[in-house]
């Protein structure tokens, strides 16, 4: 009898049977972690590098995921990816960023060489080898599948997986409209969190935590929030005048800029500060609408006047659904607000640790001098050098990881309307572990690749 989809899913340990309950073991069980290593990461599109890291011919960088390593290199014919192993005895050829335009890649063990296109150019003492061992196609570097989107190179170890665009779905159109492919780094930080990689992502898939974790933003939210009054007595600012409402919006966006960088860039804050005295309708809601209409118009004009490749913010905001956080399965985020964005990438290290990277991204004028970072500035997860908002999030996550081991804690309990993104991507992980059809998984990924605070969705299985 043929195995059904349900049979396959039921074989997954700690499977999500109720989409509102996520078993705690998924965040620390070594067996589940090994299944992710075997069934998920070899078959998904992964953001491997920002293309601005390798602007010149010969520039390369290394992308690692668990035990695998890939070289991303810019050649005369475009950016290529190769599995990072000498074809002789397996030594890694590249670590970190560099440029190999003159010498290519040289194995530090026995001196074999390859050019930037991956072709073997030298075998030391080749006469000592059996001739058939040195067939060119066997000793050239092995290519890794690579595709491009949003100014980034994505790799996939599965040559038969659906294309990147097939897996991204509508989120790509939303971010294309915001010129995501033209964003450039302002800064790049990284840290090792004592937290499972999935747990680290989930803090950014809902806004329910803002009241307690980011009170500075809650207090500056002129129109309150959808959750009502909280236990600390904060209430929506219903008594604000129209002028106070505008000023609070400016204060909120400026604090968000200071706390998160790319979500509101300093160049945008400079424009917004000039709007404090703008004429607005007398009611707070009307003032809010007038403020954002003017803000979008003025930020667009300012950026274009400086030569930045800014999109028409007002037009795009009307024509494309807006989410303050956009998630791309399995580990990549872009966070738009006005024109700039923040970005996250999370990679597993062990069942209870992960590498977490943050970028601040901006649409910078072409040719403007800037010292683009080639590697992240690595900090301890509790470093005060992180911006305010990551500091607050990073203070919670290690405690959450510890709490999952508490006796009697069996499940995450999700809001079906506000924490649905967590359930959606977790169930997609089950689909990969169960070995469902790749086309079906790609269609589910298009649904999972959604915006902030989404509801639990039917992903097709």
Q: Say which CATH number the domain at 73 has.
A: 2.102.10.10
Provide the mean pLDDT of the chain.
Answer: 94
Are residues 179 and 120 part of one domain? Answer: no
Are residues 216 and 73 part of one domain? Answer: no
Question: Does 157 reside within a domain?
Answer: no
Query: Cβ distance 365 to 352 under 8 Å?
Result: no
Which pLDDT tens digit goes with each residue over 368-404? 999 999 999 999 999 999 999 999 999 999 999 999 9
Query: Cβ distance 330 to 46 under 8 Å?
Result: yes
Range of the domain at 264: 210-319
* Mean pLDDT, range 102-112, rounded to an integer: 96
Residue 413 confidence (pLDDT): 97
d(C-alpha 419, C-alpha 437), whole Å: 27
Are residues 426 and 353 part of one domain? Answer: yes
Domain boundary (285, 319, 353) is at 319
Residue 234 confidence (pLDDT): 47
d(C-alpha 150, C-alpha 334), whole Å: 10
Question: Does 455 reside within a domain?
Answer: no
Question: Does 296 reside within a domain?
Answer: yes
- pTM recorded for the entire structure: 0.94
Percent of the chain scored above 90 by pLDDT?
88
Are residues 390 and 262 part of one domain? Answer: no
Residue burial 84-113, b: 16+ Cβ < 10 Å; e: rest? bbbbbeeebbbeebbebbeebbbbeeeebb
Are residues 432 and 411 part of one domain? Answer: yes
Are residues 251 and 123 part of one domain? Answer: no
What secondary structure letter does DSSP report for 56? S
Are residues 300 and 253 part of one domain? Answer: yes
Residue 233 confidence (pLDDT): 47
Are residues 358 and 369 part of one domain? Answer: yes
Question: Does 302 reside within a domain?
Answer: yes
Q: Which residue has the tokens 């956080």?
A: 325
Question: Does 249 reside within a domain?
Answer: yes
Q: Which two tokens stand for residue 447?
A: 């649904």
Question: Does 94 reside within a domain?
Answer: yes
Are residues 358 and 230 part of one domain? Answer: no
Query: Nearest Cα to 327, choosing from 187, 458, 168?
Result: 168
* Mean pLDDT, range 195-218, rounded to an integer: 90
Are residues 434 and 331 part of one domain? Answer: yes
């Amino acid at each position: 009898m043929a195995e059904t989809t349900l049979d396959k899913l039921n074989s997954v340990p700690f499977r999500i049977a109720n989409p509102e309950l996520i078993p705690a073991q998924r965040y620390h069980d070594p067996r589940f972690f090994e299944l992710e290593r075997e069934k998920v990461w070899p078959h998904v599109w992964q953001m491997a590098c920002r293309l601005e890291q390798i602007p010149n011919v010969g520039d390369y960088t290394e992308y690692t995921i668990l035990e695998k390593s890939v070289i991303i290199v810019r050649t005369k014919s475009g950016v290529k990816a190769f599995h990072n192993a000498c074809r002789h005895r397996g030594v890694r050829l590249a670590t970190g960023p560099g440029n190999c335009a003159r010498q290519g890649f040289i194995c530090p063990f026995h001196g074999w060489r390859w050019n930037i296109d991956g072709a073997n150019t030298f075998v030391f003492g080749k006469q000592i080898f059996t001739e058939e061992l040195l067939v060119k196609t066997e000793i050239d570097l092995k290519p890794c599948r690579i595709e491009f989107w949003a100014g980034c190179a994505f790799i996939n170890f599965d040559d038969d997986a659906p294309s990147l665009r097939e897996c991204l779905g509508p989120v790509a159109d939303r971010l294309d409209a915001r010129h995501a492919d033209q964003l450039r780094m302002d800064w790049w930080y990284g840290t090792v969190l004592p937290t499972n990689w999935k747990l680290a992502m989930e803090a950014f898939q809902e806004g329910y935590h803002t009241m307690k974790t980011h009170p500075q933003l809650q207090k500056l939210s002129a129109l309150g929030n959808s959750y009502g009054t909280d236990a600390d007595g904060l209430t929506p600012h219903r008594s604000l005048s129209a002028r106070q409402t505008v000023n609070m919006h400016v204060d909120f966006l400026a604090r968000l800029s200071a706390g998160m960088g790319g979500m509101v860039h300093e160049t945008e804050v400079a424009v917004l500060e000039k709007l404090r005295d703008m004429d607005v309708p007398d009611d707070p809601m009307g003032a809010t609408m007038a403020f954002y209409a003017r803000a979008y118009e003025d930020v667009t004009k300012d950026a274009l006047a400086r030569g930045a490749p800014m999109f028409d913010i007002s037009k795009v905001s009307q024509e494309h659904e807006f989410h303050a956080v956009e998630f791309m399965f399995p580990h990549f985020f872009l966070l738009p607000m006005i024109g700039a964005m923040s970005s996250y990438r999370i990679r597993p290290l062990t069942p209870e640790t992960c590498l977490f990277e943050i970028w601040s991204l901006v649409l910078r004028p072409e040719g403007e001098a800037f010292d683009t970072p080639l590697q992240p500035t690595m900090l301890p997860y509790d470093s005060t050098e992180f911006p305010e908002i990551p500091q607050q999030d990073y203070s919670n996550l290690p405690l959450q990881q510890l709490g999952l081991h508490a006796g009697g804690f069996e499940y995450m309990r999700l809001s079906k309307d506000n924490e649905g993104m967590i359930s959606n991507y977790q169930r997609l992980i089950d689909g990969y572990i169960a070995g469902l059809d790749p086309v079906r998984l790609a269609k589910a990924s298009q649904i999972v690749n959604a915006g902030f605070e989404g509801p639990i969705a039917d992903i097709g299985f």
